[in-house]
Structure 1
């Protein structure tokens, strides 16, 4: 038994986007991918599966009013922002609370290994800050469980089972 409610919806379809060095899969509407039926699950407004080439990443950009949860599957994520740069490896959840606004950068920390990470965006108030958490964890009322092939999100009694695509 994996803790999911009987009959929990299983997500297997993804929108896609790309930019130089980055291929992304989106469960919720994001950037060029828009589906009015997929804009949120409670306070969750983003579940993105990113594959980032060596030396590539998301340059400086801003967020506010959200908690951003990053979970690295392969490689290492270099996160720069309001605090000292942090390298995030596989296994733990890295959480950034954006409060009233932050600018940050997420980059592949390696010059020769591809990075794959899942990012979950949750609407939430809070002070600016970052921390690590072990899964399963609750972030802004959302219970987050992860495995090598699944992200399970629980909000109150509702459960969403997001199946990650296999590597190609």
Structure 2
């Protein structure tokens, strides 16, 4: 596929994102989302949503539906309480990989219940990134999976968080139902670097901190890069940083 594509490195700065700020929610959208529509910015590869959300204590997303989407949630700070119509519930926190398969239809809620868990004095906002990719097929059975991978992140390299690719069998923390996509994460101390995968489509998101992208210069918190027909660049932390990298070997038709 990459031989048919024009190599491109497209840097998107944090302050260029769509913003939804409604008091209890401060959400920054890398792609068209909700009332924010831009026909030229609907997806990259298989990734349709990369929402950078902060939710205040005691609030959150009430029960709402999803369909035919693989939804991965990655918490950076605080904790998020998940409940869904399949009977799954749990608390998502930093270092815990979580995936929800919406399939033929699911209802779920996401709340910052830190005040219930820790008490009023210790309540804090929850900061998380929620990412959506399309599944291989529609009408799948809804499902949920989560797994602690904090120890793997201590190594400082790119760690598979969620994948549907065969080469990650037995390696990725959780499985998604798309055989052409994988999400990686890395926590980097200053001076530590990692090479990005080679793929027809790659999405790098600086979730926190600051890094230097080989050949392109500095990136800060909230910055993103969309690679086409490329990869292999090194990312080096210039301050403590956390990055999320989607490796994709297909794109959405049309």
TM-score range, shorter chain: 0.7 to 0.9
What SS does structure 2 have at the residue aligned with 1:120?
strand
The one-character-per-residue Cα deviations of 1:7-49 (angstroms, maximum 9, x if unpaired) are 6433323110122401000001001222221101122110000
Count of residues in correspondence between the two structures: 159
TM-score, normalized by length of structure 2?
Answer: 0.57
The answer to whether the aligner puts 1:144 opposite 2:164 as a matched pair is: no
Structure 2 residue ranges without an equivalent (≥5): 1-6, 116-122, 150-158, 164-175, 189-195, 209-220, 223-254
Equivalent residues in 2 for 1:126-165, closer than 5 Å:
126-133=140-147, 134=149, 135-136=159-160, 137-138=162-163, 139=176, 140=178, 141-147=180-186, 156-164=199-207
Task: Check conservation: 2:88, 2:144, Cα contact below 8 A.
Answer: no
In structure 2, which of residues 83, 92, 95 is the aligned counterpart of residue 91 of structure 1? 95
Give the match for residue 214 of structure 2: none
Please give the root-mean-square deviation of Cα atoms over the aligned residues, in Å: 2.5
- Higher RCO, 1 vs 2 (CA within 8 Å, ≥6 residues apart): 1
The answer to whether the aligner puts 1:123 opposite 2:120 as a matched pair is: no
Give the match for residue 3 of structure 1: none
Task: Check conservation: 1:63, 1:101, Cα contact below 8 A.
Answer: yes
TM-score, normalized by length of structure 1?
Answer: 0.83
1:158: Cα distance to partner? 1.5
Structure 1 residue ranges without an equivalent (≥5): 1-5
After superposition, the Cα gap between the structure-2 partners of 1:68 and 1:107, relative to the gap in structure 1 and judged at 3 Å, is same
Q: Bigger radius of gyration, 1 or 2?
A: 2
